[in-house]
C-alpha cells in the first residue's frame, strides 16, 4: 500500500491537471528564471558532432565533460571536450574580466549584478555557442542554461534556437542541507545530489555530520568518534530482535565517511561550482560523541550507547580542557578536508540542566570567570571561532548563537522563522534564511495515502516558491543577507530514494527564490516552466514528487471507498506533534507509514456510513515511543486498558460518546509490523451516518499504537 514507486508512477492524470495551468510557453523553460532572455529568430544548425572548447580553463574540464555528456544525451549529437585540435568549436567558453561582464550588463540596460563572479552570458548564434563569464562558477551556470535550452520538450532537434541570455544571481548563498547523521547516505548518492544541485544553480552543500544519533566523520586523532559514535541499534522490537551472529548482540546500524570519502565529495562539489559547509554540532546534540568518549560528558550523566530516539537530548559537552582539546583536533582535520570559508558549529537546542546541576561545571565556571549558563554555551562558540581564525575560517551556526558575544565574522543561519536573520543583520552579521517549516524539506508534501513518511504539516512547491527572502525588516540591511537554504532532516527519511523525492522539485523552487530577482517572481510562469522541467528530472532518474497536491497544494478529488478509510484520509483529534512515521518492521521489506499525533493517537472519521453496518475491523501498528520531547511528555495521553494488552475503541459522535466497538490488541502484540485485527461487532443502534472516534487504550507509553486503516462491514 505504502509504496513510493506507486506515487512516482501515478503521473498520467495528475500531469494532465498540472498542465492545465499553462499551455506551451514561448522560449526555453529556464530554471531558475534568468534576468534577461532574448530570442533572436536565428538558429544554430547542428553538425554531426560538436566540439566544446574550455579555452584553456583546465579547472573547468571536469564540469565541461559532464555537461558535454548531458548535452549529447539531450541533443542527440556527440559533444567532445577538445582543447587542442584547433577545429572550429561548436561551443566555446570565454573567461573575461569582471569589468567586461559589467560592461555587457550595462550595454544591455541591466543593473550591475550583485554577484558578478556568478554572472554569465549565453549566446546561441548561426556559427555556434559561446558562454562568457569571469569565474568558473559563471561558466558552469551558462553551460547549465544551454543544457536546459536543448533538453526541452522538442529535443533532440536538428538545430538550436538563437538567443542571448544575460544572467546573475540575487543571492550568493543558495544552499541545501543534508542530514547524514540520522540516516546515512552513500557517497554515490551525494555525488548525484551535487550534480542535480548544479543543474539548478544551487551552490552550497551544507553537510550535517554529527548529532545525538550518529557521528559520521572519520577523525584520525580520535578514531572512536566514528568507530563507536557512528553506530546505533535502531529503536523498536524488530531491530532489538535482529541479532548479529558475530556479536550475539542486536545488529548495529550506521557508518561514517572516511577522509577519502570526504575528499571525493569536496572535489566533486568544486567541479560543479559548489562549496561544502561541514557541520559538527556543539555543545549540545553530543550524545554520539559522549558514547565514544564518556569523559566528554558531564559527570553523573553517563551515556551507554549512541542515541536512537528523535528529538532533543540533554547531553552536552563538559568544560574540561581535554574536551576542548578534542574539539580543536576535530577542527584541525575539518580545516584540512574542507577548504570553504565557513564551518558550521550548530549551537542549537542546548539544554543546560546537566551543567546547572554539576559541581564540577560550577568549579570550571569559576576558574574560567564565567557567570551564568548562557556564558557556558557562549564559551564553545567563542573559543572555537578564536581557534579557527588563524586558518581564515569563520563559523556559522543556528540562530541560538546570537545569544553569544559573536565576533564580527561569525554568520547566523536563521531557522526559528526569519527573526534570527533580522537580528543578525541588525548586529552586522552575515545571515542565511532557512526558516522552519517553510524551508524544512522533512515536512510531507501531500497527505496522499501512499506518500512517504515525514514531519506533519504539508509544505508544497508553491509554499517554497512563495517564501520572501527579503522581508521588510531586512530592507535596510540587505548587504548582510547571504542567501537562502533548505534543510532535509532525515529522522523519518530512511532511504536515498525518499531523500531525493522529498528534495525535488521543492529545491527547484528554492533555486529560483535564491537566484531570481524578486521583481521577476511569478508563480504562474514558474509553474509553466516547471511543468516542462519535470521530464528532465525523470530523464535523469531523479525521484521527485509530481502530483498536483505536492506542487500546488490543491488536493485532487479522490474516490474514497465508502466503507474504508486509510489513516491519512481521517482527521487527527489534535496535531500537537504530528508525524508520518514508518514502522520498524519488517526489516528487509516495505514498511507501513502512519499519520499520528504522538501525544494523542486518536482519529476522527467524519460522517461514516453506518447504516446497516454490523461489524468493523482495522489494521494497526505498534511503534517505539523513541522521542525526546522534554516536558511535552507530560501531556501524552494514556487511556487505561481493560485487558493486559490493551484495546482499540471506536466511539460514536465524539471521543467521549457511546462505545460502538472494542477490538482487543492481543492478536497484534507479538507482531512488530502492521496487524489486521479480527472483526468486532457494533453495539447499540447507530444512525445512518455519524462521526467515529478511534482511540487506543494501552498499558504504557511505549510501545504506542497507531491506526493503519479501518473498514466497516454490512450485516450479512
Taking the alpha carbons at both ends of the chain, their separation in whole angstroms is: 28
In whole angstroms, what is the distance from residue 500 CA to residue 505 CA?
9
Which value, in Å, is the radius of gyration of the alpha carbons in the chain? 28
Q: Is the CB of residue 281 less than 8 Å from the CB of residue 599?
A: no
443 is a catalytic site residue = no
In whole angstroms, what is the distance from residue 222 CA to residue 230 CA?
13
In whole angstroms, what is the distance from residue 601 CA to residue 706 CA?
6
* Three-state secondary structure call for residue 383: helix
**Strands 411-414 and 394-398, bridge-based pairing:** parallel
In whole angstroms, what is the distance from residue 160 CA to residue 79 CA?
14
Cell of 313: 537530548
Distances in Å between the Cα of 167 and the Cα atoms of 34, 321, 516, 522, 523 are 5, 51, 9, 17, 19
Query: Cell match 530523464: residue?
Result: 539
285 is a catalytic site residue = yes
Distances in Å between the Cα of 467 and the Cα atoms of 433, 439, 488, 508, 510 are 10, 8, 17, 13, 9
In whole angstroms, what is the distance from residue 81 CA to residue 680 CA?
70
Query: Cell match 558535454: residue?
Result: 68
* Three-state secondary structure call for residue 208: strand
Q: Is the CB of residue 663 less than 8 Å from the CB of residue 678?
A: yes
Tell me which of 167, 211, 496, 512 is the catalytic residue.
Answer: 211
Tell me which of 135, 200, 208, 285 is the catalytic residue.
Answer: 285
Write phi, then psi, for 557 (nearest 5 degrees): -65, 135
Tell me which of 336, 349, 353, 479 is the catalytic residue.
Answer: 349
Interior/surface letters 436-453, b for 16+ CB within 10 angstroms, e for the rest: bebbbbbbbbbbbbbbbb
**Strands 431-433 and 571-572, bridge-based pairing:** unpaired
In whole angstroms, what is the distance from residue 564 CA to residue 130 CA?
60
In whole angstroms, what is the distance from residue 499 CA to residue 488 CA?
8
Write phi, then psi, for 532 (nearest 5 degrees): -80, -15
Number of separate helices (H) and strands (E) present in the chain: 20, 36
Alpha helices in 307-416 (DSSP H): 321-337, 353-356, 359-368, 373-388
211 is a catalytic site residue = yes
Q: Which residues have a catalytic role annotated?
A: 211, 285, 349
Amino acid at each position: 500500500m505504502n509504496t513510493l514507486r506507486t506515487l512516482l508512477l501515478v503521473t498520467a492524470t495528475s500531469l494532465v491537471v498540472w498542465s492545465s495551468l499553462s499551455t506551451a510557453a514561448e522560449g526555453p523553460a529556464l530554471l531558475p528564471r534568468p534576468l534577461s532572455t532574448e530570442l533572436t529568430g536565428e538558429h544554430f544548425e547542428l553538425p554531426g558532432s560538436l566540439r566544446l572548447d574550455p579555452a584553456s580553463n583546465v579547472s573547468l574540464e571536469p564540469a565541461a565533460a559532464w555537461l558535454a555528456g548531458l548535452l549529447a544525451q539531450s541533443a542527440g549529437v556527440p559533444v567532445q571536450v577538445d582543447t587542442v585540435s584547433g577545429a572550429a568549436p561548436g561551443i566555446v567558453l570565454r573567461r573575461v574580466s569582471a569589468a567586461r561582464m559589467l560592461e555587457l550588463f550595462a550595454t544591455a540596460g541591466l543593473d550591475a549584478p550583485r554577484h558578478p563572479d556568478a554572472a554569465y552570458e549565453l549566446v546561441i548564434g548561426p556559427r555556434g555557442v559561446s558562454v562568457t563569464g569571469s569565474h568558473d562558477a559563471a561558466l558552469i551556470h551558462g553551460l547549465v542554461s544551454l543544457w536546459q535550452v536543448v533538453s526541452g520538450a522538442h529535443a533532440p532537434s536538428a538545430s538550436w534556437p538563437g538567443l542571448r541570455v544575460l544572467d546573475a544571481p540575487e543571492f550568493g548563498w543558495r544552499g541545501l542541507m543534508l542530514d547524514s547523521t540520522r540516516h546515512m547516505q552513500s557517497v554515490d548518492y551525494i555525488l548525484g545530489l551535487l550534480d542535480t544541485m548544479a543543474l539548478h544553480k544551487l551552490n552550497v552543500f551544507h553537510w550535517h555530520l554529527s548529532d545525538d544519533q550518529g557521528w559520521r566523520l572519520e577523525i584520525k586523532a580520535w578514531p572512536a568518534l566514528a568507530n563507536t559514535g557512528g553506530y546505533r541499534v535502531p529503536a523498536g522490537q524488530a531491530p532489538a530482535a535482529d541479532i548479529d551472529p558475530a556479536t550475539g548482540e542486536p545488529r548495529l546500524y550506521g557508518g561514517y565517511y572516511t577522509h577519502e570519502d570526504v575528499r571525493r565529495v569536496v572535489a566533486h562539489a568544486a567541479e560543479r561550482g559548489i562549496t561544502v559547509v561541514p557541520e559538527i554540532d556543539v555543545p549540545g546534540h553530543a550524545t554520539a560523541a559522549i558514547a565514544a568518549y564518556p569523559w566528554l560528558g558531564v559527570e553523573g550523566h553517563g551515556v551507554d550507547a549512541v542515541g536512537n530516539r528523535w528529538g532533543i537530548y540533554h547531553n552536552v559537552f563538559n568544560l574540561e580542557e581535554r574536551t576542548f582539546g578534542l574539539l580543536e583536533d576535530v577542527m584541525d582535520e575539518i580545516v584540512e578536508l574542507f577548504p570553504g570559508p565557513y564551518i558550521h558549529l550548530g549551537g542549537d537546542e542546548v539544554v543546560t540542566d546537566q551543567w546547572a546541576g554539576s559541581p564540577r561545571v560550577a568549579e570550571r565556571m569559576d576558574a574560567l570567570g564565567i557567570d551564568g549558563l548562557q556564558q557556558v554555551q557562549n564559551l564553545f562558540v567563542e573559543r572555537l571561532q578564536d581557534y579557527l581564525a588563524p586558518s581564515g575560517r569563520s563559523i556559522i551556526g543556528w540562530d541560538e548563537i546570537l545569544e553569544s558575544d559573536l565576533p564580527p565574522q561569525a554568520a547566523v543561519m536563521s531557522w526559528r522563522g526569519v527573526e534570527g536573520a533580522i537580528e543578525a543583520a541588525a548586529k552586522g552579521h552575515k545571515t542565511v534564511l532557512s526558516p522552519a517549516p517553510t524551508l524544512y524539506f522533512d515536512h510531507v508534501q501531500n497527505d496522499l495515502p501512499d506518500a512517504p513518511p515525514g514531519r506533519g504539516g504539508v509544505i508544497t512547491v508553491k509554499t517554497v516558491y512563495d517564501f520572501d527572502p527579503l522581508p521588510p525588516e531586512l530592507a535596510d540591511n540587505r548587504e548582510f543577507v547571504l542567501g537562502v537554504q533548505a534543510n532535509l532532516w532525515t529522522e523519518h527519511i530512511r532511504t536515498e530514494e525518499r531523500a531525493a523525492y522529498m528534495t525535488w522539485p521543492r529545491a527547484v523552487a528554492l533555486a529560483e527564490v535564491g537566484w531570481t530577482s524578486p521583481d521577476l517572481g511569478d508563480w504562474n510562469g514558474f509553474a509553466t516552466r516547471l511543468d516542462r522541467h519535470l521530464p528532465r528530472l525523470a530523464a535523469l532518474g531523479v525521484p521527485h514528487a509530481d502530483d498536483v497536491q505536492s506542487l500546488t497544494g490543491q488536493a485532487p478529488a479522490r474516490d474514497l471507498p465508502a466503507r474504508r478509510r486509510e489513516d491519512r484520509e481521517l482527521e487527527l483529534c489534535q496535531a500537537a506533534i504530528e508525524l508520518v512515521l514508518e514502522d520498524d518492521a519488517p526489516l528487509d521489506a516495505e514498511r507501513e507509514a502512519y499519520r499520528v499525533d504522538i501525544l494523542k493517537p486518536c482519529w476522527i472519521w467524519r460522517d461514516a456510513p453506518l447504516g446497516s453496518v454490523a461489524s468493523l475491523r482495522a489494521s494497526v501498528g505498534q511503534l517505539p515511543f523513541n522521542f525526546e520531547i522534554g516536558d511535552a511528555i507530560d501531556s501524552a495521553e494514556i487511556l487505561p486498558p481493560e485487558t493486559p494488552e490493551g484495546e482499540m475503541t471506536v466511539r460514536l459522535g465524539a471521543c467521549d460518546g457511546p462505545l460502538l466497538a472494542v477490538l482487543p490488541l492481543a492478536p497484534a502484540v507479538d507482531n512488530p509490523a502492521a496487524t489486521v485485527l479480527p472483526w468486532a461487532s457494533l453495539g447499540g443502534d447507530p444512525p445512518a451516518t455519524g462521526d467515529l472516534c478511534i482511540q487506543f487504550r494501552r498499558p504504557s507509553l511505549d510501545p504506542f499504537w497507531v491506526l493503519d486503516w479501518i473498514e466497516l462491514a454490512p450485516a450479512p
